[in-house]
Structure 1
Amino acid sequence: MSVEKTEIRRLRIAVLNRVFSPTGGGAERYSIALVEELASRHEIHVFAQQINHQWSGVTYHTVSAPLLKPRWINQLWYATATWWATRRGFDIVHSHENTWHGQVQTVHVLPVKYNLFHGRTGIKRLLRSIKVLTSLRLLVYLLFERARLSGTARNHCVVVTSVSLLQIIKSTYPKISPTLKVITPGVHSFQATGAEQKKAARTSLGLPNAGSCILFVGHDYRKKGLDVLIKSLSELAADTFLAVVGNPAQIPMFRDLASKAGLGSRIFFLGALTDVSVAYEAADVLAHPTLEDTFAMVVLEAMAHGLPVVVSDEQHCGISALLTDGVNALLLNDPKDTKKLSTALKQVLQDDLFRERLSKAAVDFSRLYQWPEIARQQEEIYLSLSNP
């Protein structure tokens, strides 16, 4: 007896993301990957102020940006403009931004309220409250966040990228607990890079063909631990070099730091790359000594390319709650400890068998988080919230 395949109802979906570009951060790449996966089954409309993406079947709407700074005014403008543009005609509005509207809200960062008040009591909390009440910028961000995270389970879903972020939001906004759901980032299917592919990748990026390459990927260099990584490089073999991918605006400051440490010739600043895959292919290990990451999509992407990863533990990085130290990654309990970071990198770079074992385990781990399955989870939310 044959079983007929259930046809999925086609939805008209608005996606809100101010910057819709692969050179953005993890939040932008997350949003883009979902759009690409779902565009063949649904009518997707992207509303963004900066668009650097083309995909068949996707309709792009450029939202004006008359005043990019101060940022809170632009946020207010963007939220108002997208509310007006999407208030009717869509089955689902999915926001990746701090806006008050949208049945689906994906939160990629720590809540503003948490950052402002967590761990503060007594006089410190009172002083922080006074600071907020006298700052129009902070008031706008908090009001938007409160509106964003106040929906009911019947018509609203708040998606977070990790269990650690879910717990923080639960403690900060306990009333929305029933609406919360974890959908991690995903990856496309990759595999460990071969020697010829690695050589070609290094050549295309202008990196040395000889020696070991440590890769760093991140836009906020200091928060992601680049200063500690630069210091640790001095304790590694002379033929070990560092490739840095991310925000070009921060390069001058950290290039100066590298020069003062006598490491200028061993650090290559590549800026923002449209396709980071070539950097993963060029590297021997990813170092991510981040001070704060709700997930760290770059770690998962690196693992999908078969890179061993040295990453901060789950107190600092969401993905690490899913990893096992010494099995599929090396975890740092103190990302500011230069000695621990250099020791972990030495272990990976000097022990070939250990590096190969980590590489295989990394690829196996990444197979559990493929974009088609991640998109299916997102699609289930859309269908459950939309009216037939």
Structure 2
Amino acid sequence: MRIAIINRIFSRTAGGAESYAVSIAEELAGRHELHVFAQESNEPVPGVTYHRVFCLGQKPRWLNQLLFALSSWWLTRKGFDVVHSHENTWHGQVQTIHVRPLRYNLLQGKRGWQRAWAWLKVWTSPRLATYVWLEGARFRRARERRIVATSTLLRQECELAYPACRKHLSVITPGTQLQQDTMTRTVARRKLDLPFDVPLLLFVANDYKRKGLDALLKALALLPAEVQLAVAGKPASIPRYEQQARELGLASRVHFLGSLDDLVPAYRAADCLVHPTLEDSFAMVVLEAMSHGLPVVVSGPVHCGISRELQDGREALLLHDPRNSADLARLLRSVLDTSELADHLRQHGLAFAQAHTWERAAIEYEALYQQVLSPDSP
């Protein structure tokens, strides 16, 4: 098939949604002719044809999103068997939804004047009106359209926001690569300039606040002094959290690694991944950590999509309130102090990861593409 992939930033380091798009494209590239339409890309997948999409400027973001949708529609309107969009666009027979719908955030649970007030805010704001219109166009009913949510939690939110999409909505969760790397913990820590002989927690996120670093720093202050933390992700928020670490007396115990093109050394260096997220549609980082044999402490199913598929105490330890630093510290201490528990989580987490590969996800997308090409087939 000749497939167009629409993703405004096509790069693994841009975030979870972007990494998902790259990984799916990587699996498909060997079997199909792929064309990627993006404003920014470090061209991470060999064998793919890249097309740069017009960008007037990154701000205001809503205007750039509208211009990107218009430009990518013009470029992909002819010549492709399937157009697959990971962005807020009105075109694309396959639409992958990565984040909670804006309509859900604006309207869920609101009635009467509250709902009317929310709509008034939308239609008096060019920014909100543009996003709501583009999002609505993604969910518009069409015979050949297929909509994909990246977790069961996100699917439920999409159905509540757009009930008419139920028939064309499916779930394809992120996957992971089965790991062949043999890098030792000592080599990994040397590579990242981390201390060799201490218990080391790992936190990976670009949005430090939304993914729970505030609570994690407070939890770290409750753990023994030898326990340290490595933080990987976009560096924009580092000064703020360095200050917070100093105020908590943790300056020497927290290591900010910034953005890493390759997270393998970080996973190999750590003793446990911590993901106390306040909101996550899935949390690919949890699955990746499991594939490297790391025990995981993660927010429960109310806050994190992947946790709906995990058993507490089997594949991971689930944190019911990600703002509760004392509970988080208790769970982390149990993993660090009890080798039997850590081994149990490591074994079952690895088995879970091995059942969720990118190859599996790509095969599911190929089945959707075939449905798009033959929309009347059963």
Q: Is the 8 A contact 2:141 2:164 kept in 1?
A: no
Separation of aligned partners in 1, 2:353 and 2:224: 30
Structure 1 residue 29 corresponds to structure 2 residue 19: yes
Contact 1:91 1:387 in 2 (8 A): no
Structure 1: where are the runs of 5+ without partners?
1-10
Alpha-carbon offset, residue 387 of structure 1 = 5.5
Distance 2:228 2:40 in 1: 34
Distance 2:116 2:74 in 1: 37
Alignment partner of 1:40 out of 22, 30, 38: 30
Counterpart of 2:146 (choices 139, 142, 157) is 157
Counterpart Cα distance in 2 of 1:131 and 1:370: 42
CA distance in 1, matches of 2:269, 2:141: 45
How does the TM-score come out when normalised to structure 1?
0.94
- What's the secondary structure of 1:77's corresponding residue? helix
Of residues 109, 119, 129, the one that matches 2:99 is: 109
Q: Give the deviation of 1:133 after TM superposition.
A: 1.7
Q: 2:160 aligns with which of 171, 178, 189?
A: 171
Give the secondary structure class of the aligned counterpart of 2:262: coil
CA distance in 1, matches of 2:43, 2:228: 32
SS of the equivalent of 2:27 reads helix
Identify the residue that residue 235 of structure 1 maps to in structure 2: 222
Bigger mean CA deviation after superposition, 260-269 or 81-90: 260-269
- Among 325, 342, 353, the alignment partner of 2:340 is 353
Residue type matched to 1:77 in 2?
Answer: L
TM-superposed deviation, 1:311: 0.5
Q: Secondary structure at the match of 1:265?
A: coil
Cα offset, 1:282, TM superposition: 0.8
Matched, 1:384 2:371: yes
Local SS of the residue matching 1:23: helix
TM-score (norm 2): 0.97
Q: Given residue 176 of structure 1, which amino acid in structure 2 is its aligned partner?
A: C
User: 1:243-322 counterparts in 2 under 5 A?
Assistant: 243-322=230-309
Task: State whether structure 2 residue 55 is matched by structure 1 residue 68.
Answer: no
Is 1:100 the counterpart of 2:87 in the alignment? no
Identical columns (%): 50
Q: Which whole-Å CA distance do the structure 2 matches of 1:161 and 1:199 have between them?
A: 35
Distance in 2 between residues matched to 1:248 and 1:63, nearest whole Å: 27
Give, in angstroms, the shift of residue 307 of structure 1: 0.6
Matched, 1:328 2:315: yes
Contact 2:12–2:44 (CA<8 Å) still a contact in 1? no
Shift of 1:116: 1.2
Q: Which of 213, 218, 222 is the matching residue for 2:209?
A: 222
User: Are residues 1:88 and 2:78 paired?
Assistant: yes
**Any idea what SS the aligned residue of 1:128 has?**
helix
Aligned residues: 375
- Say if 1:210 and 1:239, in contact at 8 Å, map to a contact too: no
Write the distance in 1 (CA, Å) between the matches of 2:151 and 2:45: 28
Kept after mapping to 1: 8 A contact 2:43/2:50: no
Q: State the AA in 2 paired with 1:300.
A: L
Distance in 2, matches of 1:319 and 1:241, equals 26
Contact 1:151 1:157 (8 Å CA) reproduced: no
CA contact (8 A) 1:223 1:291 kept: yes
* Partner Cα distance (2:207, 2:301) in 1: 19
Aligned residue in 2 for 1:208: 195
Partner of 2:174: 185
What is aligned with 1:17? 7
Unaligned runs of 5+ in 2: none
Amino acid at match of 2:104: Y
Maintained 8 Å contact 1:22/1:275: no
Matched residue type, 1:245: A
Q: 1:44-63: CA deviations, max 9, x gaps?
A: 00011111124332000111
Alpha-carbon displacement from aligned partner over 1:204-247 (angstroms, at most 9, x marks no partner) = 11111111111111111111000000000001111111111112
**Secondary structure of the residue that 1:346 maps to in structure 2?**
helix
